[in-house]
Structure 1
Amino acid sequence: MRNVMIHHRVFFCCTKPLSILPSLSPPHLHLSYSAAAAAASSPNRAIHCMANDSPLSQPLTGGDGSVSVPPPSPASSAIDFLSLCSRLKTTPRAGWGKRDVKNPESIADHMYRMGLMALISSDIPGVNTDTCIKMAIVHDIAEAEEIAELWREYEANASPEAKVVKDFDKLELILQALEYEQEQGKDLEEFFESTAGKFQTDIGKAWALEIASRRRKQQ
């Protein structure tokens, strides 16, 4: 998202695919989490977790003094990843806070409703619903081989699914803006202006018109 759209991504660097999505292969992921790095991260900055040693595995020292790191188990890798993802549940989307919105949604809140948008729009010709759902869930995370590929596809706007999910990203934004206006009496016109005319798909345009219509009725 650009302009005033709220953008906050969490990046995970991996050595091999992680079995988070159904079609991914078993995990062989080494993750390192730095408390110092986490403390230095602000709500407006992405969190960078570099591929390294599993935090649940300790180096083993051999008789010759050499150090070896045992590979983490699939379960260990999965739980490491999911623990890092917990930040998505508690990190508010930065743009709302800048506009004094109280109790703003988290990154996970945003991605969840985008996933529901993809789920209920399953009849779009030429669009793979499963891909849309996956892309909606991971569009704010760059991780693993398949997820990274979906993220690159989303960023490049390179497929029908990417165009649909790009529209869902903007739709969720203006729907949330409308709800904050209703609940808190805010004027969030800038979000509607920044997305106007930028919807690429029929469903995006139709849903945007519906949201705009409901907003006009409340004014």
Structure 2
Amino acid sequence: MKNLANFFFEAGMLKRTPRTGFQFLGSGTESVAEHIFRATLIGYSLARLDGGVDVGRVLALCLFHDIPEARTGDLNYVNKKYVKVDEERAVDDLARTLPFGDDYRGLLAEFAAGETPEARIAHDADQLEMILALKEYKDLGNRYADEWYPFAVRRLRTESAKRLAETIWATDSTRWWFDENSDWWVRGGS
């Protein structure tokens, strides 16, 4: 039980571990935990759209894909040009302490290889989460988001993710809650 408690504390570090790419974008902040949460929701949605994959497997891949960053930190694309992280060691060190360590190792290996349909969907969920963030910052006036978007789209692997990316980019991120045809905005529920 002590090892599980330690794992949960380690996972909690991801709430305080910033995603570092936003410093190059010039605006925006997000923790790794926030990224994982939305990526997991996206993965679930893509898996359900696909209909032919193991939804639970996609969820597990999305949920665990960035857990090593509690130990390694989040490296953006510029960092990765110069810094080599021993992610395998970070995975192995944690896996040795977990009752499901072999499962954890397997999930990270599957995600990295990207060969199964589930891993491709999880990978796309990871990228779509970034595309959503870019769109949010674009809608708030960050002109550099337009430059980043084509590169993120080129990393997508599934057709449904590519279609979803197009829809995301064409959708106003600030209007999801507003129904202009409703009297609510005039009467306030009276």
TM-score, L = length of structure 1: 0.59
Q: Which runs of 5+ in 1 are unaligned?
A: 1-74
- Whether 1:132 aligns to 2:61 is no
- In the alignment, is the contact (CA less than 8 A) between 1:173 and 1:191 conserved in 2? no
For residue 201 of structure 1, what is the amino acid of its counterpart? T
- Whether 1:108 aligns to 2:33 is yes
Between 1:162-171 and 1:175-184, the stretch displaced more is 175-184
Measure, in 2, the Cα distance between the counterparts of 1:132 and 1:174. 19
Matches within 5 A, 1:31-46: none
Q: What SS does the aligned partner of 2:154 have? A: coil
- Whether 1:153 aligns to 2:79 is no
Deviation for aligned residue 1:186: 4.3
Match of 2:3 in 1: 77
- In the alignment, is the contact (CA less than 8 A) between 2:27 and 2:142 conserved in 1? no
For residue 162 of structure 2, what is the amino acid of its counterpart? K
- Across the two proteins, how many residue pairs are aligned to each other? 140
Measure, in 2, the Cα distance between the counterparts of 1:83 and 1:196. 34
Higher gyration radius (CA): 1
Which has the bigger relative contact order, CA under 8 A and spacing at least 6? 2
- Structure in which a larger fraction of residues adopt helix: 2
Deviation for aligned residue 1:98: 2.9
- Structure in which a larger fraction of residues adopt strand: 1
- In the alignment, is the contact (CA less than 8 A) between 1:89 and 1:108 conserved in 2? yes
- Whether 1:210 aligns to 2:170 is no
The two structures, once aligned, show a CA RMSD in angstroms of 1.8
Measure, in 2, the Cα distance between the counterparts of 1:186 and 1:197. 19
Measure, in 2, the Cα distance between the counterparts of 1:87 and 1:158. 29
- Whether 1:163 aligns to 2:120 is yes
TM-score, L = length of structure 2: 0.67
Q: Which runs of 5+ in 2 are unaligned?
A: 68-90, 96-100, 173-190
